[in-house]
Structure 1
């Protein structure tokens, strides 16, 4: 039997996001609006759908992201890398629950 995490408490909200694309890590940039995160900005979710200028942003649940740096299992501080991935951080970053890791990916519960 294999382990599976997809679908765990997945919540998706719709935001106005004309400049974001599927796969972008995003921040809330205004009333009902999201923008792509630059390096070291905290993210609120991952764009999983796009229709016109509107984006479906996964705000909770399991997601797999590109990863670099030192990321450990359990609760780990992470920064965005500005290229839709995350890196391990020591201070000033958000903490997320890491439950799976690949060579250049990490699976987190947001």
Structure 2
């Protein structure tokens, strides 16, 4: 098994591409996996953004960076909410996923107790 790591440096975060592949004795590819991570500058914490089994994912990303420059990084920004955005978000009024309870209605046929 062979593993390669490529690091693309941005202004506020880096993009890490880890490629792993295994080959048989004759050089044929058995499997390939590429994982793309976003790492904030100054931390070692990284967030998985994308996984791919298509060979050449890192080369494709490098070509996009050469062609479009820093704008490529905008599509890989982490969309995870931060503590500040979670605190600013209002609490939901209802709990989604739970069935609504029906209120009892007085029937005309039977007298109310």
TM above 0.5, one fold? no
Q: TM-score range by the shorter chain?
A: under 0.3
| Structure possessing the higher radius of gyration over alpha carbons | 2
Higher percent of residues as strand? 1
Relative contact order, higher structure (CA 8 A, sep 6+):
1
Higher percent of residues as helix? 2
The TM-score normalised by the length of structure 1 is: 0.23
